[in-house]
Chains A and B, each alone.
Chain A
Amino acid sequence: MSNTPVSPPTQLGLAPSPSASGSTTRQTIAASTQGVMLRSVMKKYGSTVALEGINLDVPAGSYCCLLGPSGCGKTSTLRIIAGHEEATSGDVMIGDRRVNDLSPAKRSTAMVFQNYALFPHKTVWQNVEFGLKMRGVNERERKPRVDEMLDILGLSKFASRKPSMLSGGQQQRVALARALATRPQVLLLDEPLSALDESLRVKTRGELRKLQRQFGMTFIQVTHAQDEAFSLADQIVVMDHGHIDQIGMPQEIFNAPASRFVARFMGDNNIFVGQVTSVAADGDARLIQIEADGLGTFLCRGQAADVGTTAACCIRADRMQVTPLSSAFDPTQPNQVAARVVSVEFTGYVTRVSLVIEATGQEMLYKVSTHGWMTQPLNEQQLVCLQWSTDDCIFLSH
C-alpha cells in the first residue's frame, strides 16, 4: 500500500477568481482549512463489520476521493467524518482536534448529501441561509453572505424559487451553496454527481474542481466512478469490504494498482494468478517470476514476495503487442500468451478486442487505437500471440 502524502496545490484560495467581482470577499471564505485524519476507525452494525480499522490522512486543502463499489464502506467513512454516524472505535481528527464526540456542526465540516437533501418547503435563498441562521448569525450579516454564495454559484436569479422548480444541476449547486455558506474547513460530498446525466456530470466535475481551488478547502468526496475520481482527486482512496486497498495519486492508482481488487476495479487490466517461482534483486526492487498453470511464466517488478506463495500480476489492455501466432512462438519465454480472437468491437478512438486463452479459458482484453488497428487488422477466430515487457507487467501483492 503506497501512502505518499499529497502536497496541496499551490496558492489555494488566492488564485484569481474567474469573474472580476467579489474576489476579495471570496478570499475571506477560504479563511482556513484543515486536514482530516482517521486512526483505526472501526464501525460495526450489530455483528457486521462495516469498517475494519481505517487509517487515512487527508492533507489540508487537498481533494480526496473515496472510491469503491457500493457497500465498500466509503459512505460510512464519510458520515463518520461528518458526525452523522459514530465510529465504534478509533479517532477522527480534524486539524489537531479529536472530534469523535462533537456534533456535526461543531466539526467545521459541511456535507453535500447524495440526493442533495434540500429543504423542500424553503426557497433557494432560505436553504442557503439555513446554516447561518441556525448558528445565530444576525440577519444583517446573513444577507450579504447568502447573496455572495448565490452569486458564486450562479443561482442569484433562482433565489426565490423552491427546490422542486429547479433542474438537477441547479439543485446540486444549491446543495453546494448551502454547505459552503457556513464556511466549513472541510467539505464532504456524498456521490454529488451521481444524480446528474452524463454531459452535466462532466461539466459539474470541472466546476467542483474549480470551486475547490477557489476556496482552497479540503474536499472529501465519495464516488463509485473511477473517471470522476481520476479527474478530480489529488489523492484517491480505493476501498473494498470495509478496508482501504490503496491510497495514491490518480496516476499511481491507474499505472500501478496494488492489489487484484484495484486492478479489476480500474478495469482494462488482464490479471494472471500463479505461484511465485523466483525472486531476484533488481536495483531497488525485486524481479519476481510468477508461474501460472497453463498460461506460462510472467516476470514483473515488485517490492517483496516469497517464493512458493500465491501472487498475481497484471498487464493493462493497451500495453501489449499482438502478432499473428507463428511457429516461432516459444511458450517457455516469459510475458507472452497465445490466445484466440473472440470478437472485435469498434468504439470510436479505441478498438476493443476480446480474446480467450484456449488452454485455461481465461478471457483477455486488448485495446488498441482504431488507427493502429486499421494498419494491422486481425480476424475473429484467428490465433495470436500477446506479449509485453517486464516494465509494464505489474506485480499485485494481494
Chain B
Amino acid sequence: MLKGWKSIEPYLLVTPQTLVFLLFLVFPIATIFVVSFWEFTGYSMTPAFTLDNYITIFRSPVSLATYLNTFKFVGLVWFFTLIIAFPVSYFLAFHITSLRWQIILFLICTIPFWTSNIIRMISWIPFLGREGLLNKLLITLQITQQPLDIFLFSNFAVVLAMVHLYTLFMIVPIFNSMMRIDRDLIAAARDAGASGFQVLKEVIVPLTIPGIAIGSIFIVTLVMGEFVTVRLMSGGQAASVGSLIRNQIGSLQYPLAAANAVVLLVITLAIIMGILRLVDIRKEL
C-alpha cells in the first residue's frame, strides 16, 4: 500500500500546477485553435473544419497591411528601446560605482511604472496635441508657423508611447547582464591595449547579448499583442493585429478573430525561437 503511494507521489505533487496550466493556458489556446476552423455567418458560427478563415486573412490586403504595420511597430519600438536602454544600462552598470546610487538611479528608471499604462499614455496628449506644449514651443521658437498635426494620433505617437511604456523591459535584462560582467575582464582588456570603444565592442557588447535577447523577447511579445496604445495614440487611425482581433470580436466574427490570434501566436513564437536559436540565454536565468 505504502509502496503504491510512493510511486504516484511525484505525480500528485505536480498535479495542481498541471491543472492550473491546463485550465488557464492549454485549454484557452486549444479553444481558440479549434474555433479558428469553424464556419461563421454574419449572425452565427457552427463547428466545422474549414480553412476559409485563414485564407481570408492571407488574401485580404487590409489584414496583410495590418500585419505589416504591426511588424513595423515591433521593429521601431525594439530599435528605440534598445538604443535607449543600452546606454542607460551602461551608465548605471559601469559609471556609477556606488551601489547606493545604482539603486537610487535604477528606482528612478522605474518611476513611470508607478502609474497605470493608460494614464501614462493619456499624459502624452496635452503634450503632443495641436494646442499642446510641443507645438507651442515650436511656434515660439519659430521653427514652424502652423501647429503640426503629426505628433498626436499618428504612428509617431503610437511608437513614442510604446517606447515610453516598454523601455524598462529592455533596461532590466541588459543592466542585469552588464552587472554580471567581471570587472577584471574590462581591466584585462585595457591591460591588453583595448581602447574604450574596443572594450565595448570586444567585451561588453558580446557579454550583454543574452540580456539584449531577453529584452527583445519582452518587447516582441508585448508589442505584437498591443491594441490599447495603438488605438488610443493613433486615435483609431492606425491598426495592429491586436486591434484587428478586437474589432472582429466586437463584430462577433469569432472564428476569424481566432484564426488571426493563431497566426499572431505562431509568428510571435517563431520570432522568439529565432532569437533563442541565435543567443544562448541560459546563463542569464
Nearest-Cβ distance from residue B94 to partner chain A, whole angstroms: 15
Give the contacts of B157-191 with A (CB-CB under 8 A): 182, 184-185, 187-191
Nearest-Cβ distance from residue A221 to partner chain B, whole angstroms: 16
Contacts of B184 in A (CB 8 A): 113-115, 117
- Quick check: B187 and A105 within 8 Å, CB to CB? no
Q: How far is the CA of A69 from the CA of B203 in the complex (A)?
A: 33
Contacts of B194 in A (CB 8 A): 105, 130, 134
Residue on A nearest B186 in the bound complex, by CB: A117
- Quick check: B192 and A117 within 8 Å, CB to CB? no
Q: A115-B182, A119-B203, A121-B207 are in contact. Are A131 and B192 (CB under 8 A)?
A: yes
Contacts of B61 in A (CB 8 A): none
Q: A113-B184, A115-B182, A115-B184 are in contact. Are A134 and B206 (CB under 8 A)?
A: no
- Quick check: B207 and A120 within 8 Å, CB to CB? yes
Q: How far is the CA of A103 from the CA of B207 in the complex (A)?
A: 24
Contacts of A111 in B (CB 8 A): 187-188, 191
Q: Is B42 in contact with chain A by the CB < 8 A criterion? A: no
- Quick check: B206 and A103 within 8 Å, CB to CB? no
Residue on A nearest B205 in the bound complex, by CB: A121
- Quick check: B187 and A113 within 8 Å, CB to CB? yes
Q: Is B10 in contact with chain A by the CB < 8 A criterion? A: no
Nearest-Cβ distance from residue A134 to partner chain B, whole angstroms: 4
Q: Is B198 in contact with chain A by the CB < 8 A criterion? A: yes
- Quick check: B193 and A134 within 8 Å, CB to CB? yes
- Quick check: A117 and B182 within 8 Å, CB to CB? yes
Q: How many residues of A contact B (CB 8 A)?
A: 24
Tell me whether chain A's interface is mostly helix, strand or loop, or mixed.
loop
Q: Is B202 in contact with chain A by the CB < 8 A criterion? A: yes
- Quick check: B190 and A104 within 8 Å, CB to CB? yes
Contacts of B190 in A (CB 8 A): 84, 103-105
Q: How many residues of B contact A (CB 8 A)?
A: 17
Contacts of A117 in B (CB 8 A): 182, 184-185, 187-188
Q: How far is the CA of A214 from the CA of B202 in the complex (A)?
A: 31
Q: How far is the CA of A59 from the CA of B97 in the complex (A)?
A: 37
Contacts of A182 in B (CB 8 A): 192-193
Residue on A nearest B199 in the bound complex, by CB: A134
- Quick check: B188 and A113 within 8 Å, CB to CB? yes
- Quick check: B191 and A82 within 8 Å, CB to CB? yes
What string of 1s and 0s marks CB contacts (under 8 Å) between B193-211 and chain A? 1110010001100110000
Q: How far is the CA of A109 from the CA of B193 in the complex (A)?
A: 10
Contacts of B195 in A (CB 8 A): 134
Q: How far is the CA of A104 from the CA of B199 in the complex (A)?
A: 14
Contacts of B198 in A (CB 8 A): 134
Give the contacts of A92-145 with B (CB-CB under 8 A): 103-105, 109-111, 113-115, 117-121, 130-131, 134-135
Contacts of A83 in B (CB 8 A): 191
Nearest-Cβ distance from residue B122 to partner chain A, whole angstroms: 44
Q: How far is the CA of A273 from the CA of B203 in the complex (A)?
A: 55
Q: How far is the CA of A119 from the CA of B191 in the complex (A)?
A: 13
Nearest-Cβ distance from residue A40 to partner chain B, whole angstroms: 25
Contacts of B193 in A (CB 8 A): 104-105, 131, 134-135, 182
- Quick check: A130 and B207 within 8 Å, CB to CB? no
Residue on B nearest A121 in the bound complex, by CB: B206
- Quick check: A104 and B207 within 8 Å, CB to CB? no
Contacts of A130 in B (CB 8 A): 189, 192, 194, 202
Contacts of A115 in B (CB 8 A): 182, 184
- Quick check: B191 and A104 within 8 Å, CB to CB? yes
Residue on A nearest B203 in the bound complex, by CB: A119
Q: Is A352 in contact with chain B by the CB < 8 A criterion? A: no
Nearest-Cβ distance from residue A273 to partner chain B, whole angstroms: 42
Residue on B nearest A126 in the bound complex, by CB: B202
- Quick check: A119 and B185 within 8 Å, CB to CB? yes
Q: How far is the CA of A150 from the CA of B265 in the complex (A)?
A: 50
Q: How far is the CA of A134 from the CA of B206 in the complex (A)?
A: 16
Q: How far is the CA of A109 from the CA of B191 in the complex (A)?
A: 8
Nearest-Cβ distance from residue A192 to partner chain B, whole angstroms: 13
What string of 1s and 0s marks CB contacts (under 8 Å) between A355-380 and chain B? 00000000000000000000000000
Contacts of A110 in B (CB 8 A): 191-192
- Quick check: A84 and B191 within 8 Å, CB to CB? yes
Nearest-Cβ distance from residue B218 to partner chain A, whole angstroms: 23
What string of 1s and 0s marks CB contacts (under 8 Å) between B241-260 and chain A? 00000000000000000000
Q: How far is the CA of A110 from the CA of B191 in the complex (A)?
A: 6
Q: Is A178 in contact with chain B by the CB < 8 A criterion? A: yes
Nearest-Cβ distance from residue B197 to partner chain A, whole angstroms: 11
28 contacts between A and B (CB under 8 A): A82-B191, A83-B191, A84-B187, A103-B190, A104-B187, A104-B190, A104-B193, A105-B190, A105-B191, A109-B191, A110-B191, A110-B192, A117-B188, A119-B185, A119-B203, A120-B207, A121-B207, A130-B194, A130-B202, A131-B191, A131-B192, A134-B189, A134-B192, A134-B195, A134-B198, A134-B202, A178-B192, A182-B193
Using a CB–CB cutoff of 8 Å, the interface residues on chain A facing chain B are 82-84, 103-105, 109-111, 113-115, 117-121, 130-131, 134-135, 178-179, 182
Assuming A115-B182, A182-B192, what are 19 further A-B pairs, CB within 8 angstroms? A83-B191, A104-B191, A105-B190, A105-B191, A105-B193, A109-B191, A111-B187, A111-B191, A114-B184, A118-B188, A119-B188, A130-B192, A130-B202, A134-B189, A134-B194, A134-B195, A135-B193, A178-B192, A182-B193
Using a CB–CB cutoff of 8 Å, the interface residues on chain B facing chain A are 182, 184-185, 187-195, 198, 202-203, 206-207
